[in-house]
């Protein structure tokens, strides 16, 4: 299996200081891959800049100009969560461009799948607004680009970041060509992603939200992917799968309250890979979103890459939290989501 890894030091120029979303996320992850000789097992690809036209498929031109000017003025806070530095605009257009590089490599069969190890993350960014550490919506820009430049009509976006990807949902809420599937802690930032948010107009039914309660972990996530994602994906028959890969649902991550382990993430990736092999010739692009415990993040990215290249030998020194009994209402919850989407 040829797996592409998209990375460039330009992503470190988004200098957020001691902010929880900082350059050490990528520095630590790349060091982990190098120390474990994983980097030699992948095809390292250099990202390109996304053009203004490519960004404009998702974001208003006035907003793009605003982000560029903010960087030129030295950066600063865009909201209470999201900060910029002078290098942030450059890093952000290369982050979006990294996702596009990954799409090109997969669709042109240079690699079977690809992981864009980029920052700033993207799935909260809307047409007009930066939020939740995000400037440009990398995964949404990649989906728009793939539909416009390749002979495909159906894309599945899977988002397993612990926070709901409100920006991605907004972009495709009325679009039947993109099925957006999100599993996330709820109620939690940004407050969207309830079970009854299912799309609008022609996109009705093409948004699937699975809002999980704090404290749920590997078993619940796996059941959601097997019992909800898999049948929905098979019915939709995507020609490309894009993944917003956020690892902040890990039990060691202090920004959330979920209980997923490194091996749990590996199992989710394995399910996605099985679906991609079955439905779209294995074509998958992963783009990094959240994940703020540096050890858990680097281990989880490494495990994801191992699964993509066909290995099942997952190293998880952090282990799992002590198993709890399955919530008595979990089965009813899954049944409710399935009924909502006629599964």
Write the CB contacts of 20 (distance below 8 Å, at least 6 apart in sequence). Answer: 255, 292
Decide if 76 contacts 35 (C-beta within 8 A).
no
Overall average pLDDT of the 195-200 stretch: 98
- Over residues 214-224, the pLDDT tens digits come to 999 999 999 99
Question: Which residue in the list 124, 184, 250, 341 is annotated as catalytic?
Answer: 124
- Evaluate if residue 328 carries a pLDDT over 80: no
Write the CB contacts of 26 (distance below 8 Å, at least 6 apart in sequence). Answer: 7, 11, 12, 117, 119
- Over residues 83-99, the pLDDT tens digits come to 999 999 999 999 999 99
The size of the chain, in residues, is 343
Output the pLDDT for position 170.
98
- Evaluate if residue 325 carries a pLDDT over 70: no
- Evaluate if residue 156 carries a pLDDT over 90: yes
Overall average pLDDT of the 124-128 stretch: 98
The 10 Å CB-count burial string (b at 16+, else e) for 44-66 is ebebbbbeeebbbbbbeeebbee
Mode of pairing for the β-strands spanning 43-45 and 76-77: unpaired
Mean pLDDT, the chain, as a whole number?
Answer: 96
Nearest to 302 by CA among 259, 339, 258, 247: 247
Alpha-carbon span 20 to 103, nearest angstrom: 28
DSSP assigned state of 244: E
Alpha-carbon span 169 to 290, nearest angstrom: 17
Domains identified in the chain and CATH numbers: 3-340 (3.40.800.20)
How does residue 114 score in pLDDT terms, banded at 50, 70 and 90?
very high
User: Does the global pTM surpass 0.85?
Assistant: yes
Residue 227, token pair as written in the block: 């019992």
- Evaluate if residue 179 carries a pLDDT over 70: yes
Mode of pairing for the β-strands spanning 155-159 and 178-185: parallel
Overall average pLDDT of the 66-70 stretch: 98
Mode of pairing for the β-strands spanning 83-84 and 76-77: antiparallel
Known catalytic residue at 124: yes
Alpha-carbon span 193 to 197, nearest angstrom: 6
DSSP-assigned beta bridge partners for residue 244: 159, 287
């Amino acid at each position: 299996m040829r797996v592409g890894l998209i990375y460039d030091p330009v992503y470190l120029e988004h200098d957020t200081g001691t902010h929880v979303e900082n350059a050490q996320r990528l520095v630590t992850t790349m060091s982990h891959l190098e120390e474990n000789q994983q980097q030699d097992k992948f095809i390292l690809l250099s990202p390109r800049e996304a053009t203004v036209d490519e960004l404009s498929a998702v974001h208003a031109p006035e907003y793009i100009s605003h982000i560029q000017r903010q960087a030129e003025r030295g950066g600063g806070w865009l909201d209470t969560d999201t900060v910029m530095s002078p290098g942030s605009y450059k890093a952000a257009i290369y982050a979006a461009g990294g996702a596009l590089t990954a799409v090109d490599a997969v669709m042109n069969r240079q690699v079977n799948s690809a992981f864009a190890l980029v920052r700033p993350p993207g799935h909260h960014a809307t047409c007009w607004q930066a939020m939740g550490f995000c400037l440009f919506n990398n995964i949404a820009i990649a989906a728009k680009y793939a539909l416009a430049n390749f002979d495909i009509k159906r894309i599945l976006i899977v988002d397993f970041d612990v926070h709901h990807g409100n920006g991605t949902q907004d972009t495709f809420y009325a679009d039947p060509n993109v099925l957006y599937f999100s599993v996330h802690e709820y109620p939690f930032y940004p407050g969207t992603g309830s079970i009854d948010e299912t799309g609008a107009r022609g996109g009705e039914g093409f948004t699937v939200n699975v809002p999980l309660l704090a404290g749920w972990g590997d078993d619940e996530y796996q059941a959601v992917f097997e019992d909800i994602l898999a049948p929905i994906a098979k019915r939709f028959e995507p020609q490309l799968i894009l993944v917003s890969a956020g690892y902040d649902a890990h039990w060691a991550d202090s920004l959330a309250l979920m209980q997923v382990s490194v091996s749990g993430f590996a199992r989710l990736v394995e399910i996605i890979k099985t679906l991609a092999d079955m439905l779209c010739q294995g074509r998958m692009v992963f783009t990094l979103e959240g994940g703020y415990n540096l050890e858990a993040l680097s281990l989880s990215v490494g495990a994801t890459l191992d699964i993509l290249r066909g290995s099942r030998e997952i190293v998880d020194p952090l282990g799992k939290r002590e198993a709890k009994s399955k919530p008595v209402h979990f089965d009813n919850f899954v049944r409710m989501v399935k009924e909502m989407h006629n599964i």
